[in-house]
Amino acid sequence: MPTSKVRVRFAPSPTGFFHIGSARTALFNWLYARHTGGTFVLRIEDTDKERNSEEFLGVIYDSLRWLGMDWDEGPGKGGDFGPYRQSERDAIYREYLAKLQAAGRAYEKDGAIWFKLLGERSEVFDEHRQKTVTKVANTPAIIEDLIRGHVERTEDEDFVIFRSDGNPVFHFVNVVDDIAMKITHVIRGEDHLSNTSKHVELFKAFGVTPPQFAHIPLILKSNGPGKMSKRDQGALIEEYQRRGFLPEAVVNFLCLLGWNPGDDREKMPIAEIIRLFDLPGVNQSNARFDEKKLAHVNMGYLLELPADRFLAHARSHFERRIEALAGVPTDEAKASVALYRSAISAPALFREVMLLSQPKIKSVEELPAYTGYFFSEDYPIDDKVRAKVMAKGDPKARLRELIELVRTADFGSDLALETAIKDLATAGGLGFGDYQSVARLAVSGTNVGPSITGMFRVLGRERVLARMERFLAAA
């Protein structure tokens, strides 16, 4: 049950995939409702029949659910002010139109229905449009925006509220529904600020005090001055889901696009964000999309995941990759599918490998490539890394010494193994790194990965020895 009268709404138009900007608008509405103990309404603005699709609508529901933004009223949930899809509210719009007509504030011209502003009228030649238009001497609409501050804008021309095809226009249905649904705060993207004076005129014509407005700044692309577009990497919420980001990390990251807790904290539990979030705290300046920040926040959440949740999460990412590659006819794709299948069909090894990698990765999407060599003896050797490692000192001699060490070393403890390698290095006047780099190359084919001793332990003595010997024989 709501504990305050605050009613906010997220009002998406299902005309495209669910964009990061929309998700952030939804989130700021949701946060404000949860912060104030108010009500979060989901309203679908689907009056544009040509451009709407059920597929896009499904993506909106899925993405909101995935991100944990539960709505209190809306499709599938009900509420006292439904229906919550504008395509089902035609009767309500006709009723509100009749009110305007009765008050002499709507008229017909050229098949369309126009909203009539108040004020003296005069015919003026508009240079820009090269035609004569009717200007209205109107007073400015004043908006005390909770984020932008004081905004004044004058509407000086009547505008269409029902098109000649009989469909109502966005401005009209948007305002009617905000009135009918008793919305107290309109929180939306800054791209709508320029529409707000039209909306204020409509509210006034209906004799209703407008809600409070809060226009959220734009999201800029990671480099350059432009606004983030649907084509930019990271623009679609689905993409994060597909790539295996944690929803709690994505939500946390979205909160930081235009808001901060007043200090430089980044990773914060959602309960804490709800406690601190407020509209005057939203920045006026544009937010910049920063994928590195997302990766950093995601890594923080991954580190904290209990083993079983991490494993389930890792496993579903392998399954998603298998599914995505299953139909791809290239040899590479087939090899990857076979590798990932063998990984998840060896649960004990899978568990150890994933837990060893947990503190090292920013996102589970790195895991298949990061861990491939654990699940197959046929792992590739990176030529560049090989050239670099083999050029320094006498790596073959180091590898021979390591083979001797591995034959008898204590594999039960990472620390004991590490100490043994360190002692070996010290005895020869060398460093741990001289042994580590060639060992890593031989055993994994690369120079990145979890700790070398953890890697040895998980692979086991026999596999480590066999790999080193095979590498040495070919070197």
CB closer to ligand GLU, 46 vs 434: 46
Q: Decide whether 46 or 414 has the Cβ nearer to ligand GLU.
A: 46
Question: Rounded to an integer, what distance in angstroms lies between the CA atom of residue 467 and that of residue 391?
Answer: 20
396 catalytic residue (yes or no): no
Q: Which stretch in 33-41, 161-169, 184-192, 402-410 sits in contact with ligand GLU by CB under 6 A?
A: 184-192
**DSSP per residue over 276-338, as a string?**
H--GGGB-SSPEE--HHHHHHHHHHHHHHS-HHHHHHHHHHHHHHHHHHHTT--SHHHHHHHH
Question: Mask of contacts with ligand GLU, 243-282, x by CB under 6 A?
Answer: ----------------------------------------
Q: How far is the CB of 336 from ligand GLU (least distance, A)?
A: 39
Q: Which is nearer to ligand GLU, 191 or 278 (CB)?
A: 191
| Per-residue tokens: 92 | 């309500």
Q: Give me the least distance between CB of 9 and ligand GLU, in Å please.
A: 7
Integer Cα distance of 277 and 255 in angstroms: 9
Three-state secondary-structure class, residue 58: helix
Tell me which of 5, 77, 109, 230 is the catalytic residue. 230
Cβ-contact 29, 9 below 8 angstroms: yes
For residue 191, the minimal CB distance to ligand GLU (Å) is 7
Residues 23-82 that bind ligand GLU (CB under 6 A): 45
Q: Which of 6, 12, 36, 409 binds ligand GLU (CB under 6 A)?
A: 12
What whole-number distance in Å separates Cα of residue 243 and Cα of residue 321?
9
Report in angstroms how near the CB of residue 45 gets to ligand GLU at its nearest. Answer: 4
CA distances in angstroms from 429 to 422, 423, 424, 442, listed in the order given: 10, 10, 9, 22
Q: Please choose, out of 9-17, 204-212, 368-376, 390-398, the segment that lies near ligand GLU by the rule CB under 6 A.
A: 9-17
**Contacts for 448-456: CB closer than 8 Å, 24+ residues apart:** 448/370, 449/360, 449/370, 450/356, 450/357, 450/360, 451/356, 451/414, 452/421, 453/414, 453/415, 453/417, 453/418, 453/421, 454/356, 454/414, 455/356, 456/406, 456/411, 456/417
Contact 69, 273 (CB under 8 A): no
Nearest CB to ligand GLU, comparing residues 84 and 310: 84
Stretch touching ligand GLU by CB under 6 A, among 161-169, 185-193, 351-359, 423-431: 185-193
Stretch that binds ligand GLU, among 6-14, 118-126, 427-435, 457-465 (CB under 6 A): 6-14
The SS3 assignment for 126 reads strand
| Minimum distance of ligand GLU from residue 15's CB (angstroms) | 8
Shortest Cβ 175–ligand GLU spacing (Å): 9
Residue 186 or 353: the one with the smaller Cβ distance to ligand GLU is: 186
Q: How many CB atoms lie within 10 A of CB 374?
A: 25
Task: Please list every residue from 144 through 183 that binds ligand GLU, using CB under 6 A.
Answer: 174
Taking residues 384 to 423 in sequence order and writing x for each that binds ligand GLU by CB under 6 A, - otherwise, the string is: ----------------------------------------
Distance in Å, CB of 340 to ligand GLU, minimum:
39
| Number of shown-chain residues binding ligand GLU (CB under 6 A) | 8
Residue number with CB closer to ligand GLU (24 or 188): 188
Instruction: Give the chain's count of helices (H) and strands (E).
Output: 19, 13
d(Cα 104, Cα 53) in Å, to the nearest integer? 36
Task: Reply yes or no: is the peptide bond before residue 83 cis, omega within 30 of 0.
Answer: yes
What residues have CB less than 8 Å from 338, skipping those under 6 apart?
A: none
Interaction between residue 188 and ligand GLU (CB under 6 A): yes
Choose the stretch contacting ligand GLU; rule: CB under 6 A; options: 5-13, 109-117, 326-334, 370-378.
5-13
The C-alpha atoms of residue 404 and residue 402 are separated, in whole angstroms, by: 5
Amino acid identity of residue 354, one-letter, is M
Q: Which stretch binds ligand GLU (CB under 6 A): 7-15, 342-350, 367-375, 410-418?
A: 7-15
For 42, the enclosing helix (H) or strand (E) is strand 39-42
Among the listed residues 7, 13, 105, 450, the single contact to ligand GLU using CB under 6 A = 13
Please give the positions annotated as active site: 230
Binding site for ligand GLU (CB under 6 A): 11-13, 45, 174, 186, 188, 192
